[in-house]
């Protein structure tokens, strides 16, 4: 019954900003990491950013470094993605996700429904 719900997507022009939010709906949860992924039309789902919930370390895909910032509020079971200097190539459906730790790394198993981000030129 646990759900992740994204919000904050929309239509913006290149160079503008958006802040995406994701919150648990229905019940609280505990995860090893929270992350953001995106999927553009005709492309596979792509990792965007991750924050661990132990050391709060972050990592980003190269194309968004310096522009996007991920943060989390564990007490509120929320994760946000501040997206600055948006580019048309950032256009995609953005998904938040929760991961559990495995011997080989984080495994994302719980996903939100996605929110559309469209960046026009």
- Model confidence over 101-114: pLDDT tens digits? 999 999 999 999 99
**Quick one: tokens of 119?**
């960046």
pLDDT of residue 93: 98
Question: Which tokens belong to 21?
Answer: 């939010």
The pair of three-digit structure tokens given for residue 14, joined into one six-digit string: 């290149």
- Radius of gyration of the chain from Cα atoms? 14
In this predicted structure, the answer to whether residue 39 has a pLDDT above a threshold of 80 is yes
Read off the pLDDT band of 30 (50, 70, 90). Answer: confident
Residue holding tokens 């661990």? Answer: 52
- Burial class, 96, CB count within 10 angstroms (exposed 0-12 / middle 13-18 / buried 19+): buried
């Amino acid at each position: 019954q646990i759900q992740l719900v994204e919000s904050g997507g929309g239509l913006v022009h290149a160079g503008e900003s958006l802040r995406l939010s994701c919150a648990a709906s229905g019940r609280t949860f505990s995860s090893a990491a929270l992350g953001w992924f995106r999927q553009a039309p005709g492309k596979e789902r792509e990792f965007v950013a991750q924050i661990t919930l132990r050391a709060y370390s972050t990592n980003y895909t190269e194309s968004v470094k310096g522009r996007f910032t991920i943060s989390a509020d564990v007490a509120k079971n929320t994760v946000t993605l501040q997206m600055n200097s948006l580019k048309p190539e950032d256009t995609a459906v953005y998904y938040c996700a929760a991961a559990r730790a495995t011997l080989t790394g984080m495994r994302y198993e719980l996903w939100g429904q996605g929110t559309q981000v469209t960046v026009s030129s």
